[in-house]
Amino acid sequence: MNAPAAGQVYDLHSHSTVSDGVLRPADVAARAHRNGVQVWALTDHDETGGLPEAAEAASVLGMGFVPGVEISVTWASRTVHVVGLNIDPGHAGLNAGLAATRACRAERAQRMGQRLAELGMPGCYEGALPYADNPELVSRTHFARYMVDSGLCPDLRSVFNRYLADGMPADVPIRWASLEDCMTWILAAGGVAVLAHPGRYKYSELEFDALYGVFRDLGGSAIEVIAGGHTPEQYVEYAHIARHYGFLASTGSDFHSPTESRVDLGQLPPLPPMLTPVWTAWS
Ligand code: AMP
Ligand code: MN
Ligand code: MN
Ligand code: MN
């Protein structure tokens, strides 16, 4: 990757059509660059397939690029996302693990379709499939887009709130990767493991404490302090957590789409003071 200088604009969490984003990797790169991002990471869910196109596009634009991935993990019966940054995109062990993680999505998507049919909305599985560019990566987001476009719900937010959010009637819980395996894959691929958007998880304080401890013991080194889904209060909260547990701090918009994402690429506040940025781990 291109070596970044101090004071640069980083965005280290984003998605393309290779997972549940709506722009191709090269178009995410162009949008990041246009928005002033100087060091960008593409972090598609459970998939590294977009990284060669992303790296090439970033290189042509003269923008720093960090190869990344966002891995779906089940920990304490809930889903946690771990971002691997500065990974070797071609690492065989990592890619085998990701392929195994993706494998359960096909059946899950069919079962989500059945649940939605039972709720009076037939045809959602068939409807969602064409929204997924990558047939191995049908996600809840693709269902949600179909359901909005077909008039079943007014917007993405309400689809999740009514049907698809964790624990809602059409959310089919599955066992993703274990935290242990996920960390092994990221570290073996030379990456830095970052706990994504901690503000999203519905753990108790006790469970969070255990999660941070286990994550750190397994070689996890950073948490997202600035995340597209975090409130300004959560920036402060997770800055405190990072200092308390000795984590490096990461920042990323979690951009998926120009019309859906609350925060656009590069449109993030700077990291709060007294934190060590995650990029010190590789630059
Ligand atoms: P999946 O990997 O199929 O479980 O889908 C997870 C994706 O759904 C996340 O990466 C988000 O893009 C999206 N998502 C999850 N929860 C919500 C929510 N409450 N509102 C909007 N999008 C969500
Ligand atoms: Mn997503
Ligand atoms: Mn996520
Ligand atoms: Mn994400």
C-alpha to C-alpha distance for 271 and 250, rounded to whole angstroms: 8
Distance 140 CA to ligand 1 centre (A): 6
Pocket of ligand 1 (CB under 6 A): 20, 45, 72, 139-141, 156-157, 160, 165, 256
Across the range 67-87, mean pLDDT stands at 98
Residue of 108, 143, 106, 107 whose CA lies nearest to 123: 143
Pairwise CA distance, residues 166 & 184, whole Å? 26
DSSP-derived 3-state class of residue 69: strand
Give the per-residue pLDDT at 23.
98
Does pLDDT of 244 surpass 80? yes
Strand spans (E) along the chain: 10-11, 39-42, 64-75, 78-85, 192-195, 222-227, 248-252
| 277 — pLDDT class (breaks 50, 70, 90) | very high
Report the DSSP pairing between strands 64-75 and 39-42: parallel
Find the mean pLDDT for residues 233-251.
Answer: 98
Quote the pLDDT of residue 192: 98
Query: 149: CA distance to ligand 3 center in Å?
Result: 23
Give strand pairing partners of 71.
82
Closest atom of ligand 1 to CA, residue 108: 3
Provide, rounded to the nearest whole percent, the portion of the chain with pLDDT above 70. Answer: 98
Residue of 105, 124, 139 to test ligand 1 pocket, by largest number of atoms within 8 Å of CB:
139
Q: Give Cβ neighbours of residue 243 (< 8 Å, ≥ 6 apart).
A: 274, 275
Helix (H, G, I), strand (E, B) or coil at 268: coil
Query: In Å, how far from its chain's centre is CA 225?
Result: 14
How many Cα atoms occupy the beta-carbon half-sphere of 153 within 13 Å?
A: 20
The residue length of the chain stands at 283
Stretch 92-106: mean pLDDT: 98
Stretch (H or E) spanning 111: helix 105-118
**pLDDT for position 199:** 98
C-alpha of residue 48 to centroid of ligand 4, in Å: 13
